[in-house]
Structure 1
């Protein structure tokens, strides 16, 4: 896998370079600001760009805006965003810019190496990977929320689905059968008026678009 890293923390950036090299991946560029990220993506066309939300030059949302631009100009490049905090607007805006090859992880998740590498692989292969805490925050809605109609198990399935897991993966994590997962999923989409949405990535996209409405 060919990867570009973009984070203004030299310590984190160099640590990820070593980690990915040890795993057999090729880090084609490691940069500390958004303009350099865009230039290196244009130059190398990597499989995935790992991007911090807050980077120079303004240290606000430069990384996020660069990630959205990559999604628009280079849809074949996966984008895995790292953030210190759960920022709902950023998570939803990033996902709704396209329906595949995208992830959003809290930086604390990076120290859990297997989870980070799994998310990176999923994004590179065309899937999605959302931090469980991000998903939980996205699923917290107010009184008008139709999610209140879901059972606890349906919420569990929706949580896993929004993290980017397949039905088989959900079944394994929740210790239920795959047919049970499919049954719960169908109930979720009916209750959220998403029954006619087909395709794994589009299901997640539709749910998160709805949650942001």
Structure 2
């Protein structure tokens, strides 16, 4: 992938300007920065970005305008990745969003923006059709699991699946868990079998596995 091109949408001028500066310094081209969803569709048509980075709560009601804009953007621009930013870790929101946008979607806590490497990684993931969920939300999903959900997975497989939901590569998961990439590959294969995810390109199967994790059920 060449230089990432993104549109940023956030109502806070200070946060928006800071985010633009961070992304530009990291080599990401911010083609437009907006204070609301007004004009977002035109900005996408004009600039053809790889992804849109936007706040969940935007004017005028500051409830779910960002989510509504994300859904509308995906309907009109199937290839544009979407990274939602929020002040809060809200697993229920993530379940709702991934149910409506099953790929090329990410959700990060705003506090993570200072971690530019993770921010850019998340944008790259959603721009390529993957899923990137904030680790705080992933931990919340694990805590919310009820008996019977994701049944059949071992504790270690849940840890690996958590890494997949965060958008981590096998190598990154292996480093975090202190094991080998081959071991992680074995766990991933077992997870996909247990969840009943059919044969397809590996990246797509990982997306389905991440969805199964976030939504707390088998993928099929």
TM class by smaller structure: 0.7 to 0.9
Aligned pair 1:92/2:95, yes or no? yes
1:202 aligns with 2:205: no
Contact persistence 1:197–1:203 (CA under 8 A): no
In the alignment, does 2:59 pair up with 1:60? no
Q: Secondary structure at the match of 1:29?
A: strand
Q: Are the equivalent residues in 1 in contact too, given 2:31–2:47 (CA < 8 A)? A: yes
Q: Name whichever of 90-99 and 6-15 sits farther off.
A: 90-99
- Deviating more after overlay: 26-35 vs 117-126: 117-126
**1:19 — aligned with what?**
22
2:82 to 73, 79, 82: 79
With normalisation by structure 1, the TM-score equals 0.87
Q: Give deviations 1:104-160, integer Å, cap 9, x for gaps.
A: 100011112221122122222332211101111122235433346543322211111
Normalising by structure 2, report the TM-score.
Answer: 0.85
Match of 2:183 in 1: 180
* 1:48 shift after superposition: 0.9
Match in the other structure for 2:31: 28
| Contact 1:4 1:27 (8 Å CA) reproduced | yes
1:17-69, Cα deviation, whole Å (9 max, x unpaired): 11222223221111111223233223322111001000001111101110111
Are positions 1:112 and 2:115 aligned together?
yes
Cα RMSD of the aligned pairs, angstroms, is 2.3
Q: Deviations over 1:58-86 (max 9, x none)?
A: 11110111011111211111111001112
Matched, 1:157 2:160: yes
